């Protein structure tokens, strides 16, 4: 499954008051794992940058002068996003701005049911707790030392780590027994399965010495449960 982690920086808080997007940062995930593909662009908002906004992201009108306007990058952004799910923190904010910019160009808006809000996920998981991006990074031990100012691509990269923690996407479980393998989120195997197992490279002497070692462990070693689950079950039933 393809997903896009997205963050924006803007000139203010409300597109209805003439505020514009000045930076977009996106990180591509495939089956919950970053692929290394990103989309990042600065834009000229064709207006001033209020001081309070500058203090947040450090992007000045002088720096943005000469950068492309949203209309010039809209096609590239939409192509990169494709039909993937979009993940954002406080997604309603980013979605309002993106759809306002798309509306200026008479382009279709991004549907709300296509967007996953990590703030909503965090509030369900940690009700009553602080769930800002910074607070979640502290909770999960994610390094934010490089984040001296808000930046769309940097925040998207950090949010990708937070999203993985919120959804368990990076946790793998080792399953013993028939069909054992490494299982990722959603029960999907992360390892390709061979149609025919490779022949064992262990010699009879190797097997004999290993069995002698296992016998010294006492009780019912977990190794036996892996190799001989049915025999072990019969033994425990007879005990």
Q: Active-site residues: which are they? A: 150
Q: What are phi and psi of 183, to 5 degrees?
A: -110, 130
Non-local CB neighbours of 35 within 8 Å, separated by 6+ positions: 28, 29
Are 149 and 58 within 8 A, CB to CB? yes
Please give the DSSP secondary-structure letter assigned to residue 105: T
User: What sign for the dihedral angle of Cα 157, 15, 110, 117?
Assistant: positive
Instruction: Tell me which residue of 136, 134, 131, 135 sits closest to 120, measured CA to CA.
Output: 131
Residues 6+ apart with CB under 8 A from 203: none
Residues with Cβ within 8 Å of 95's Cβ and at least 6 positions away in sequence, in order, are 88, 110, 112, 115
119 CB neighbour count, 10 Å cutoff: 17
């Amino acid at each position: 499954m393809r997903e896009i982690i997205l963050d924006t920086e803007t000139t203010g808080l409300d597109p209805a008051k003439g505020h514009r997007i000045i930076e977009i940062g996106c990180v591509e995930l495939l089956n919950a794992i970053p692929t290394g593909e990103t989309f990042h662009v600065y834009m000229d908002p064709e207006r001033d940058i209020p001081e309070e906004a500058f203090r947040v992201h450090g992007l000045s009108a002088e720096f943005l002068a000469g950068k492309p306007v949203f209309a010039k990058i809209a096609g590239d952004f939409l192509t990169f996003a494709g039909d993937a799910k979009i993940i954002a923190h406080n997604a309603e904010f980013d979605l309002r701005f993106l759809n306002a910019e798309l509306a200026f160009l008479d382009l279709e808006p991004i549907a709300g049911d296509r967007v996953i809000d990590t703030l909503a996920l965090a509030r369900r998981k940690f009700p009553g707790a602080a769930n800002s991006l910074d607070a979640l990074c502290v909770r999960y031990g994610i390094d934010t030392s490089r984040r001296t100012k808000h930046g769309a691509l940097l925040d998207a990269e950090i949010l990708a780590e937070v999203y993985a923690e919120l959804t368990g996407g990076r946790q793998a479980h080792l399953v013993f027994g028939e069909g054992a393998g490494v299982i990722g989120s959603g029960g999907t195997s992360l390892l390709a399965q061979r149609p025919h197992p490779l022949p064992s490279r262990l010699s009879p002497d190797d097997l004999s010495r290993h069995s002698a070692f296992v016998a010294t462990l006492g009780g019912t070693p977990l190794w036996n449960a892996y190799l001989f689950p049915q025999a072990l079950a019969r033994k425990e039933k007879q005990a």
